[in-house]
Every structure is written in structure tokens, then in C-alpha cells.
Amino acid sequence: SINMARAVPYGLVAAIAAAACIAVLAVVFVRPQNQLQGDADELLLKVHLQAHEPYSPPSNMYLWWGPETNHRFVGSGERIRQLFHMGNIEGGEWRDPMFLGNNGVETFASQRFRRISEACCSTIVIPPMEWEFPVFNTHKIIGQRIRNFVANGNTLVLTGGIAALEFINSYFFYNIELVDGNYSPGPFRRLNSVPKQMSFDPKVLPQKGVSVTAVKKATLPSGAEVLWGTPRSSPVFLIKFCEAQSPDEGMPPVKVLPRDCPLAAQDGRPCSCGSIVYIGYNWNEPYPSRWDKVLLSSVELLNPCWAPPPPLPPLEPCSDVPKPKCAANSIPSCPSTGWSGQGAKRAVGP
């Protein structure tokens, strides 16, 4: 009975030692493998969780804020507002000096938009148009004003899907088509020629259910640049839109393809160009995603104060990780025979 009582503590000590060895092995071996999956910009590192300066949008950025979004009938606009850290509650609604459209006047028909469209270097972000779509005569004053805004050196960022593409096709006279079946499984890879502001974004963007709307690359107009895509589709692209004076005196400016701008300049009608950015994610899910980084980078294209983010600390090389002293599945060597558990038994010399 005394031997049995002594065997219990020894067995318990052996079990604790084995558990400690397994824990050491898991910490040493699992950690480097997790670090080596993907590139540094795809990983969540400790530096991302440290305190940092709070985000604030560029001073030249405006957010299109329609009545349906203002009254919280749609969640995508609210998600984008939170992403940009914009808005204060006043009178039971969100208000911000950089909102466009929450003053009871149609955004593109307001005098404020008229002043913005006549100047340079501003960015307007339009959240997904779920319950509303601005309908104007594309050949009258408001339609021409929308085109003038982009052509005067500004950037128009549209998000969402079919409604955003219909806006681009209608007001800028394009014929961009959706992918077959209105679905592209992805993944969408970043091209090397993206603007420098987007070169720090994720290299791969996922298709989240059916929340990403891509277009056929073959239907993109002249002057378009694919930013993320597959061999046949693209959910993120940039269009260079240009206008020049009409050859007919007294007529509004006319659309000019970027490749024809040198000829227009030789004719005494130099071009003025801006950018249209399409991001085909609908932001219906209230969770952070890789698409957030793309939207935040798109508003930095005209930011004069933009600076590249600080580099991330280098990953620990595998050679610096200490090797475990014991392992759960290791086979100890036999001192009597010299057999290490690998291959055939070795003869032991005298």
C-alpha cells in the first residue's frame, strides 16, 4: 500500500512534465508557422494593436449623404460614415460640414456642389445607392455639372454595385458591362501599377458571398486602369475622364478620350482631366474587412498631405527561434544499444 501511495505523486509529476513539454513545443513551432503565412501586409501584428494617432479624413473630402442614408434607412452608408469617423448627432440626425445632401436640397442641384465642381482637387465619396438614385437629364445643366466636377481635376469615388455602374454609364456616357451572371468568385489580385497611395493595401481582395460586383475588363473605356482584378473581371478600377472646350462657340465642354488629348491641345483646346474610382463592395456587413483599406486609400489620391505609412517591424527569422528540449512524439535514444529510433539498429563498439 505504501508503494501504491508513492506511485501516485510520481505519475502526477510525469503527467505535468509531459504537458509542459507539449506546451513548449506548441509555442515554439506553431508561432513561426503562423507568422510565415502570407506577406507582412496580410498579417495582424502586435504593432496594429498599439496606440496610434486617430484617423481623420482629408480636408478636401466630401461624403455624399442622401436623405435615406441620413435617416438610417440603409446600413451601408452608416458603415462608411463610421469608417471615415465623420458626423455628429444634431437634431436626431448625423451632421458634418463635409456632408453633401443633408440640408434638404438635392446634392448635385445645390449651389455648394456648383462651387465645388468649378474648383480643383476635391474628392466626393458616394456610398452604395440602395434606396436612392440621382435622376437628372444627362445633357442639361446638372448632368453637365457632374462631368465638369470630375474634369476639373477632382475625384469621384463610387461604391456598391449595379447602381454605381449605372451612374457611371449614364452621366459619363460609357457602356461598362457586368460580368456574366453578375458574379465573379475572385479572388481579386492587386496590380503592380496601382497609384502609390494604394500600394500599401492588401494584395488580394476576397469575394464575400455576393457582396462584390465586378465588371468585364474588356468593356472598360479608354483611359481606364484596373487596380484589382482577375484575368477577365475587375471590382476596383480607375477611369481618367477628360473634357475640352467645344469647337462650337458658346457650347459646353465636350468629352475627350485621354488618348485624343494631344490632338485637342494642338487644336488650341487643351484637356482637363480627373478620376472616377469604382469600388464594387456594398459594405452591408458591419465588420472590418480588407475593402476598408481600399476605400480609405482612394480618398488619399488628391490629399496634398498624404505620407506613406511607417514600415512594419521585420518578422523574426526561424533560425532565431530556440529549439524545444523535448517533444511529445520524440523517440529517446537507447543508451544500451546506441539506437536513436531512426533506421536500423547500430552496432555498439566495445
Alpha carbon separation from 165 to 122, 176, 223, 311 (Å, rounded): 21, 7, 16, 36
Say whether both 79 and 141 belong to one domain: yes
Full residue range of the structural domain in which residue 18 is found: 2-37
Segment of 12-16, 47-51, 70-74 carrying the highest mean pLDDT: 70-74
Number of domain units in the chain: 2
Tens of pLDDT, residues 221-280: 999 999 999 999 999 999 999 999 998 888 999 999 999 999 999 999 999 999 999 999
> For residue 343, is it within any domain?
no
Tens of pLDDT, residues 238-250: 999 999 999 888 8
Say whether both 22 and 156 belong to one domain: no
Residue tagged 472646350 (cell numbers): 245
> For residue 251, is it within any domain?
yes
Tens of pLDDT, residues 174-209: 999 999 988 999 899 999 999 999 999 999 999 988
Q: What mean pLDDT is predicted for residues 278-307?
A: 91
> For residue 233, is it within any domain?
yes
> For residue 308, is it within any domain?
no
First to last CA, the chain: 43
User: Tell me, what's the pLDDT at 4?
Assistant: 45
Min mean pLDDT across 16-30, 53-67, 119-133 is at 16-30
Say whether both 109 and 235 belong to one domain: yes
Min mean pLDDT across 37-51, 169-183, 294-308 is at 37-51
> For residue 50, is it within any domain?
no
> For residue 46, is it within any domain?
no
Say whether both 33 and 170 belong to one domain: no
Q: Which residue has the higher pLDDT, 287 or 158?
A: 158
Residues facing 88 on adjacent strands: 95
> For residue 32, is it within any domain?
yes
> For residue 328, is it within any domain?
no
Q: How confident is the model at residue 22 (pLDDT cuts 50, 70, 90)?
A: low
CA angle, 129 then 122 then 83, to 5°: 50
Say whether both 27 and 141 belong to one domain: no
Min mean pLDDT across 9-23, 134-148, 206-220 is at 9-23
Q: How confident is the model at residue 105 (pLDDT cuts 50, 70, 90)?
A: low
Q: How confident is the model at residue 147 (pLDDT cuts 50, 70, 90)?
A: very high
